[in-house]
């Protein structure tokens, strides 16, 4: 594959979660369905119904679409909008985590299981108890403990849970209000339930103060990802409205995290959603943009590019259309 070109063009793919399993790269994207409806801030244009898992034998190989791995029609609790997924390996099984709206229109997080990284995946009967919002990302740490990070503002409904219950009329944090961080919980050994009560992660500025809602260049919006580099936890995410990919670091998986900088400047399209993975001694950023569709937000394509660190552990900012 060539850097910064679509992995596949026969379908529209987005929100790539990349992992190395059995020496191969597997990418778990959402699958955009083309339509002529309008875009809006609640994301109604994203009508995804299934998942196709992509794989590469190596970065010089062609990308393979392994076919439909899971469809909403086979998940009892789902009504629509199967958005950005992730996958984790543990206990000899592969666990696919995905958000979708339940029968009441509330986003929940489900899990499906397979013996193979490419699926097909068998979904659990119901969503993870206590879960809500979107964009699950799972880290299986070196000590075997597993953590899930999730949550997205606006259409992702994260701010609607501030009272502890779903309320679509809950005011969004604005101005000097403390920004909402992503959710965090430890998973049980079965990888299908929360071991700890979910909590918001704290993201702090260079002075140790919480980021504010008005700080749209740095505050959390959606798309969390967690990876480790030299023993440090790197929380990366999208700022949404300002279209940056940024990151914060901590010595602990549940923070607090300190904002460190930008990973990528804006791409073509409203926002981006990414993952970071090490492969054969180098690090790579997988992301999406709307270049293939000339800017149509719900017709995206997955790409990758090399990600480089400075000696102090900071990440070099990527300009997506400059090589």
- State the catalytic residues: 15, 222
Going by C-alpha positions, the residue among 84, 138, 134, 86 that lies closest to residue 108 is: 134
Cα–Cα distance for residue pair 225/17, rounded to 1 Å: 9
Going by C-alpha positions, the residue among 113, 154, 118 that lies closest to residue 135 is: 154
Asked if residue 264 lies in contact with residue 273, where contact means CB atoms within 8 angstroms, the answer is: no
Going by C-alpha positions, the residue among 237, 223, 42 that lies closest to residue 135 is: 223
The set of residues, in sequence order, having a beta carbon less than 8 Å from that of 245 and lying 6+ positions away, is: 236, 237, 238, 239, 262, 263, 264, 272, 274, 285, 287
The token pair that represents 41 in the structure block = 């801030």
Cα–Cα distance for residue pair 87/271, rounded to 1 Å: 22
């Amino acid at each position: 594959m060539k850097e910064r070109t679509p992995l596949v063009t026969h379908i529209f793919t987005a929100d790539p979660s990349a992992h190395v399993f059995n020496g191969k790269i597997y990418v778990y994207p959402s699958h955009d369905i083309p339509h002529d409806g309008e875009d809006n801030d609640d994301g109604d244009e994203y009508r995804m119904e299934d998942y196709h898992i992509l794989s590469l034998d190596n970065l010089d190989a062609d990308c393979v679409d392994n076919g439909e791995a899971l469809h909403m029609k086979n998940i009892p609790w789902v009504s629509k909008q199967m958005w950005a997924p992730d996958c984790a390996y543990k206990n000899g099984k592969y666990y696919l985590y995905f958000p979708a709206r339940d029968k009441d229109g509330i986003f929940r997080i489900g899990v499906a299981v397979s013996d193979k990284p490419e699926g097909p995946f068998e979904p659990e009967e119901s969503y993870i108890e206590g879960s809500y919002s979107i964009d699950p990302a799972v880290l299986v740490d070196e000590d075997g403990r597993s953590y899930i990070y999730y949550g997205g503002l606006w259409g992702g409904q994260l701010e609607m849970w501030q009272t502890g219950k779903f309320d679509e009329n809950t005011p969004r944090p604005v101005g000097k209000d403390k920004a909402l961080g992503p959710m965090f919980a430890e998973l049980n050994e079965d990888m299908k339930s929360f071991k700890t009560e979910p909590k918001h992660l704290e993201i702090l500025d260079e002075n140790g103060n919480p980021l504010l809602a008005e700080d749209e260049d740095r505050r959390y919006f959606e798309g969390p990802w967690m990876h480790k580099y030299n023993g440090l936890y790197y929380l990366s995410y999208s700022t949404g409205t300002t279209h940056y990919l940024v990151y914060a670091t901590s010595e602990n998986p549940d923070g607090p995290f300190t904002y460190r900088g930008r990973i990528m400047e804006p791409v073509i399209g409203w926002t981006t959603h990414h993952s970071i993975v090490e492969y054969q001694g180098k690090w790579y950023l997988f992301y999406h943009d709307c270049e293939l569709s000339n800017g149509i937000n719900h017709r995206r394509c997955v790409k990758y590019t090399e990600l480089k660190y400075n000696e102090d552990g900071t990440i070099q900012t990527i300009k997506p259309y400059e090589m």
